[in-house]
């Protein structure tokens, strides 16, 4: 059985309260890495290279949570790749910076999908559509 959250609780977790996701990620980054992902965001990186870095818009610029889902916004949706490699995972870090969230990268069915996981230094990496963060709700 999967753990599910009520819509109200999920919206509070995503929102702009002191510990809400919108507040924590505001001004932070989403970094795409290559290599074997660590067990989670609390674990140190080991031989991983940052391929591309997106900066989140300020906390007040994130969407309003509804039904356990919130649109997220970036300062720019296209960035220049800083290194070459195959994207395998991402981390979201606060502006502090402290690692908050880690997930998979792929071309479909991943936590963060790209048109291609092959990234070359100097190429543009673009987020298309409207990115969201969601909790499973009932």
Between residues 87 and 132, the one the model is more confident about? 87
Q: Would you say residue 92 has pLDDT above 80? A: yes
**What pLDDT was estimated at residue 115?**
87
Nearest-5° Cα angle at 41, 34 to 72: 85
- Using one digit for the tens of pLDDT, what is the confidence trace for 20-44? 898 889 999 999 999 999 999 999 9
**What pLDDT was estimated at residue 48?**
98
Parallel, antiparallel, or unpaired for β 124-126 and 112-113? unpaired
Q: Per-residue DSSP letters for 94-117?
A: -SS--EEEEEEEESSSSSEE-S-S
Q: Would you say residue 128 has pLDDT above 90? A: no
CA-to-CA distance for 63 and 15, rounded, in angstroms?
Answer: 9
At residue 59, φ and ψ (nearest 5 deg) are -55, -40
- Using one digit for the tens of pLDDT, what is the confidence trace for 43-87? 999 999 999 999 999 878 888 899 999 999 999 999 999 999 999
User: What are the domain boundaries of the chain?
Assistant: 7-134
CA-to-CA distance for 119 and 107, rounded, in angstroms?
Answer: 12
Q: pTM value? A: 0.90
Task: Please count the other Cβ atoms lying within 10 Å of the Cβ belonging to residue 100.
Answer: 15
């Amino acid at each position: 059985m999967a753990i599910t959250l009520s819509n109200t609780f999920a919206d509070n977790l995503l929102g702009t309260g002191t510990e809400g996701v919108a507040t924590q990620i505001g001004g932070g980054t989403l970094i795409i890495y290559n290599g074997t992902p660590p067990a989670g965001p609390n674990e140190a990186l080991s031989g991983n290279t940052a391929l591309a870095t997106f900066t989140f818009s300020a906390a007040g610029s994130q969407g309003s949570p509804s039904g356990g889902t919130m649109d997220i916004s970036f300062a720019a949706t296209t960035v220049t790749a800083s290194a070459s490699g195959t994207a395998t995972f991402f981390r979201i870090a606060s502006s502090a910076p402290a690692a908050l969230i880690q997930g998979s990268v792929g071309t479909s069915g991943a936590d963060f999908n790209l048109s291609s996981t092959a990234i070359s230094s100097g190429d543009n990496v673009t987020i298309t559509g409207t990115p969201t963060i969601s909790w499973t709700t009932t």
